[in-house]
Amino acid sequence: MQITVRVNGDEYTRDVEPRLLLVHFLRDELGLTGTHWGCDTSNCGVCTVQVDGTPVKSCTTLAVMVDGREVTTVEGLEQDGQLDPVQQGFINCHGLQCGFCTPGMLMTTKALLKQNPDPTEAEIREAISGNLCRCTGYENIVRSVRWAAEQTAEQQEVKA
């Protein structure tokens, strides 16, 4: 099947097998290896990307399902050489250790902050509950999200 999809602002048209998973399309067809591939059952969340702004697990989403839609991967967070506040928060607050879960956490966090720019700790924990981390214990991840929320709020105040 032929699909056309916009990924990180660029449009791609490819012939794909109907059974091709989005994670493999992104990694193998487009070379966007920031999206990790973990459990293949949507349990771990490392493959999370955004489709039309909504986090989805790309290991259980078929590439044909995103035909005509907008996909954002972790590579799409950085803009004009500047890290997104979510990325910077994970660096500044040590929200990562091995880094395997980080792309999925970043994509989930970005969607959370767009929907809820000032989440409570409980709301952050609920939002990231579909993304497993075996290294950090989540404390620094929550701090990273709070840092990003504060930076985003400050940026909005400066623009206003």
CATH number at residue 22: 3.10.20.30
Q: Residues 103, 48: contact at Cβ < 8 Å?
A: yes
pLDDT at 30: 98
Of 76, 102, 119, which residue constitutes the final position of a domain?
76
Place of tokens 């623009």: 159
pLDDT at 160: 62
76, two tokens = 């799409």
Residue 84: phi and psi, rounded to 5, are: -65, 150
Instruction: Quote the percentage of the chain above a pLDDT of 90.
Output: 87
Look at 70 and 151; give whichever has higher pLDDT.
70
Instruction: Quote the percentage of the chain above a pLDDT of 70.
Output: 96
Checking if the pLDDT of 158 tops 70, the result is: no
Residue 13 Cα distances to 10, 88, 100, 126, 138, angstroms? 10, 32, 29, 36, 38
Same domain, 105 and 124: yes
Checking if the pLDDT of 155 tops 80, the result is: no
* Residues spanned by the domain of 45: 2-76
Rounded to whole angstroms, the maximal C-alpha distance in the chain is: 48
Same domain, 108 and 155: yes
Residue 105: phi and psi, rounded to 5, are: -60, -45
Of 76, 110, 137, which residue constitutes the final position of a domain?
76
User: What's the structural domain count of the chain?
Assistant: 2
Contacts of residue 57, Cβ cutoff 8 Å, sequence gap at least 6: 42, 45, 47, 48, 130
CATH number at residue 125: 1.10.150.120
Tell me the pLDDT tens digit for each residue of 80-130: 999 999 999 999 999 999 999 999 999 999 999 999 999 999 999 999 999
